[in-house]
Amino acid sequence: MSVLPFDQREGFIWFNGALVPWAEAKLHVLNHGLHYASCVFEGERVYGGEIFKLAEHTDRLFESARILDFEIPYTTDQINEACRQVVAAQKIVDGYVRPLAWRGPEMMGVSAQSSRIQVAIACWEWPSYFDPAQRLKGIRLDISDWRRPDPRTAPCKSKAAGLYMICTLSKHAAERKGYADALMLDWRGRVAEATGANIFFVRDGELHTPIPDCFLDGITRRTVIGLAEARGIKVNERAIFPDEMESFSECFIVGTAAEVTPVSEIGQYNFTVGETSRTLMDAYMDAVRPKSAPQTAAAE
């Protein structure tokens, strides 16, 4: 399927304080963020014209910047309002918002204290991360050769661009084998997450999910935990080893893009799309949609 390249789309992008035509939101090739990955970002979903948990995403963007040792030159309120402006300018009802901040071109080297911090926010339609038909029967995951790093070797609590390099490599390798995504272990050999989503397992009606000590404690992850606990579903956050997957009956991944997506297979391990997964899929979609917004195919 042909997809229009992102640099050829129409509309507006918020760029360093103002809405500019999409085609004019350009950078020089000698940007520190490009060469040294000094860039942080967020992924946010729009449902019924409203951004789900916007303030939490913006707070995390600022925390990610702090971890990468730079300060975003706007307030959180200004970024929240800018995100809303972009959604309105693009006339997006159901879509995706991408705020990002990075070190600019003033210095080109490992040291870049004087580089100006640049900020952009884009928004586009994006109905579903995975094929809807495949998603309903459970996606298949490969097990990646790459591992989430020791937190002493990378700023794993930030949503930093450089941390996603091994995710891209893992997802490409999985897709070449016919899988939809990949499960990543951590540096200790424990179950960690998918390439862009946290993971949950079900056993005897209880949820089991890895402790996020070397990867992001996702906003969707926390939302799903809250939804589960509100429904009397016990949540066990703990270390999970690969061979334990044989004992779980259900599995699903969660994230802003992935939403709640059941998993039918991880390598040699198989799961069913059961009652717990379906309950939390429905609960999540009820939670994200504004009460006045009609259900659309994008929610499938």
Catalytic residue list = 159
How many whole angstroms from its chain centre is CA 30? 27
- The answer to whether the beta carbons of residues 12 and 89 sit under 8 Å apart is yes
C-alpha–C-alpha distance, residues 57 and 69, integer Å: 19
